[in-house]
Amino acid sequence: MRIEEKEFLLPNGEKVIIRSAGPEDAEQIKDLRETTSAETHFMARDPEDGQMNVERVRAVMDATAKSEREFMVTAFVGDQVVGDLGIMLIRPHVKYLHRAYLGMSIRQKYTGMGLGSFMMQVALEQAKKNGFEQVELGVYADNARARHLYEKNGFKEYGVNPRAFKLKDGTYIDEIIMVHFFE
Ligand SMILES: CC(C)(COP(=O)(O)OP(=O)(O)OC[C@H]1O[C@@H](n2cnc3c(N)ncnc32)[C@H](O)[C@@H]1OP(=O)(O)O)[C@@H](O)C(=O)NCCC(=O)NCCS
């Protein structure tokens, strides 16, 4: 599905359009993911994993746009995608249909200005409407900004996956597993 289009104003007055990216935005989404993977170590991908396959990105975006419950909350400044959030089923099996998984990233230039909080609120409201009972995510233990944002929006830590990530310099980082329940 696609969310209803919204506007968010950055503190400098710049306008951000919030809508759901679709298959037509695949190149832009690929660029966002490759850029944000290089800007911090907080994404699952690393630049060494190589370029993403744009046809695969397009296929996932197409399936998401056609899904009844999965969706993206994508932030555009002009034609550029500056941030993206996905709400996805964990598995399409009956016993999992109450659970959604959330992933998000914003270009560094657009972080720290309230955009992530706005996208999160839009996503939680829509996820609830789409019948999910809980939204789950995993975050690097050293990602203080993301953890703050998630806690502020009602996510609670329920587990730690020790040494989930190993950086190129050999450092291990735990993954914090969080959940937001809709009551
Ligand atoms: C994490 C991310 C989505 C947050 O979005 P954002 O637009 O930067 O967040 P916001 O500006 O809405 O809010 C950030 C909050 O964290 C706070 N914050 C900023 N730096 C912080 C830090 N080092 N420690 C704790 N809190 C911090 C801000 O004060 C703000 O809190 P407030 O609303 O209570 O004042 C975004 O920074 C991002 O995409 N980062 C790179 C990729 C990433 O980390 N993705 C998440 C993977 S799980």
Q: What is the DSSP string of 64-96?
A: HHH-SS-EEEEEEETTEEEEEEEEEES-SSGGG
**Is the C-beta atom of 38 inside 6 A of ligand 1?**
no
**Is the C-beta atom of 152 inside 6 A of ligand 1?**
yes
All domains in the chain, ordered by first residue: 6-181 (3.40.630.30)
- Rounded distance from Cα 148 to ligand 1 centre (Å): 7
Closest CA to 55 of 26, 79, 22, 29: 26
Distances (CA, A) of 112 to 60, 74, 98, 176: 29, 17, 31, 21
Model-level pTM?
Answer: 0.98
**Is the C-beta atom of 74 inside 6 A of ligand 1?**
no
Length of the chain (residues): 183
Q: Which stretches of the chain drop beneath a pLDDT of 50?
A: none
Q: In whole angstroms, what is the distance from residue 120 CA to residue 174 CA?
A: 23
Q: What was the pLDDT predicted at 183?
A: 78
- Rounded distance from Cα 151 to ligand 1 centre (Å): 11
Closest CA to 52 of 36, 41, 63: 36
Write out the two tokens for 144.
Answer: 């203080």
- Helix, strand or coil, per DSSP, at residue 135: strand
**Is the C-beta atom of 117 inside 6 A of ligand 1?**
yes
CA triple 36-113-121, angle to 5 deg: 85
Q: What was the pLDDT predicted at 126?
A: 98
